[in-house]
Amino acid sequence: MKIIDISILRHQQPFPAAVGPEHVTLDLLTIATDEGIQGHTFAGGPGEDIASVLLDVVRPMLIGLDPLDIGRVWAMTGRRGLPATVRGAVDVALWDIAGKAAGLPVHRLIGTVRDHAPAYIATWVHRDIPTYVDEALAYREMGFTAHKLHPLTQLRHFDGKQVPVTDDIDLCAQVRAAVGDRHVLALDAAWAYDYPEAVQVGLAIEELGYAWYEDPLAADDLYGYIRLKQQLSIPLMATEVTQGGLTALAPWVVERATDFLRGDVVLKGGITGMVKIAHLAEAFHLPCEIHDAYNSLNNLAGLNVMMAIANCQWFEILAPHAPGSYDIDALSYGLVEPITIDPTGNVHAPTRPGLGIDIDWELLRASGELLG
């Protein structure tokens, strides 16, 4: 089998939440082969446009290669000068081809370890505490057993507002009071705090029985995380967006700067990159929590990884939704059917070949623009 072409279909996905953009650009990458099998994913990180690099630089590199030489291509796309997300996009599309060629879902090719896992809701950002409380109760009612907050201080980023860190502590306390002690809660501060704020919030959510404390400090502040971990007993989760992929994570493990490794197929080198990171974590008896990957096809890719590694506990569902409409539609936007979540809040492994769920071509082509 040989790669014969690469193309990109650009589509604008409506973004339903009250905070944030009106649309998110989805660049559907297609890698075509001479045997008629095509591999797909959505290319690029959030807000990042890698279409011209893929079409002008990567297309000539890949045409004529065997798409099953995934490791070879992974090495080629890690070369100096290419954005890291190029490697992730090409890798996911090649695994999709490999699964389709084998007639198996991708997790079967890696080595399946389970067929379902618990999922949690990760909130989008809201402007007041009652909205977060209503939301937590609504998703609990739908069967989810765990819930993660992206708190009010995120409005520093979205609205340019000076939100005091005590607002986040109030939020965490009120959500805990509403959902009760047995619901799993976590806080993802998304790099918003300085060191004193991070200590203050961490001590508060420890008391509130939160399960983990994610990304309080700047993403590259390895020494800050080491200091913070010495102040807190709550597990600290870092490395979601660290630059440099697999090899950049070695110091985080060796310096004991995080209690988890973390990443997604988009930023961390695709399915191949995430499997390598999970195995690195496994060698140190660390969990590797897979991050919601910004869009449906990459969420499916992450799900396939999760079904083939033992050291990831939770499937993350980032749930931006229209005010009052508590859905998880963003998880599967652009697929012909949703990723399966059962009434007890478990996600189930894909069973069909490749990434495992077909693309809704009608939807994507409706406002789609073919690039290059």
Q: How far is the CB of 214 from Mg ion (least distance, A)?
A: 5
Residue closer to Mg ion, measured from CB, 120 or 139:
120
Residue closer to Mg ion, measured from CB, 157 or 348:
157
Nearest to 212 by CA among 261, 265, 179: 261
Helix, strand, or coil (residue 262): strand
Query: CA-CA distances (angstroms) from residue 227 to 10, 71, 224?
Result: 44, 37, 5
Q: How far is the CB of 87 from Mg ion (least distance, A)?
A: 21
Q: How far is the CB of 225 from Mg ion (least distance, A)?
A: 14
Residue closer to Mg ion, measured from CB, 149 or 300:
149
Q: Is 146 exposed, middle or buried (0-12, 13-18, 19+ CB in 10 A)?
A: buried
Residue closer to Mg ion, measured from CB, 168 or 188:
188
Q: How far is the CB of 193 from Mg ion (least distance, A)?
A: 13
Binding mask 180-209 for Mg ion (x = CB under 5 A): --------x---------------------
Residue closer to Mg ion, measured from CB, 91 or 240:
240
Residue closer to Mg ion, measured from CB, 135 or 316:
316
Q: How far is the CB of 242 from Mg ion (least distance, A)?
A: 12
Q: How far is the CB of 162 from Mg ion (least distance, A)?
A: 22
Nearest to 118 by CA among 289, 297, 321: 289
Task: Establish if 264 lies at the interface with Mg ion (CB under 5 A).
Answer: no
Residue closer to Mg ion, measured from CB, 33 or 123:
123
42 strand-pairing partners:
28
Residue closer to Mg ion, measured from CB, 188 or 197:
188
Looking at residues 80 to 99 of the shown chain, list those that interact with Mg ion (rule: CB under 5 A): none
8 Å CB contact between 328 and 317 = yes
- Number of residues interacting with Mg ion: please give it, by CB under 5 A: 2
Q: How far is the CB of 240 from Mg ion (least distance, A)?
A: 5
User: Cα separation of 208 and 204, whole Å?
Assistant: 6
8 Å CB contact between 264 and 301 = no
Query: CA-CA distances (angstroms) from residue 230 to 221, 227, 289, 366?
Result: 15, 5, 22, 53
Looking at residues 223 to 262 of the shown chain, list those that interact with Mg ion (rule: CB under 5 A): 240
Looking at residues 131 to 160 of the shown chain, list those that interact with Mg ion (rule: CB under 5 A): none
Main-chain dihedrals φ then ψ at residue 171, nearest 5 degrees:
-60, -50
User: Cα separation of 258 and 287, whole Å?
Assistant: 10
User: Cα separation of 175 and 147, whole Å?
Assistant: 10
Count Cβ atoms below 10 Å from residue 269 Cβ, excluding itself.
27
Q: How far is the CB of 237 from Mg ion (least distance, A)?
A: 8
Residue closer to Mg ion, measured from CB, 27 or 240:
240
Say if strands 184-188 and 212-214 run parallel, antiparallel, or are unpaired: parallel
Please enumerate, as own/partner, the contacts of 53-59 that have beta carbons within 8 Å and a separation of 24 or more.
53/82, 53/83, 53/86, 54/6, 54/8, 54/29, 54/86, 54/89, 54/90, 55/6, 55/7, 55/8, 55/371, 55/372, 56/372, 57/82, 58/6, 58/82, 58/86, 58/90, 59/5, 59/6, 59/372
Q: How far is the CB of 189 from Mg ion (least distance, A)?
A: 9
Residues of this chain that interact with Mg ion (CB under 5 A) are 188, 240
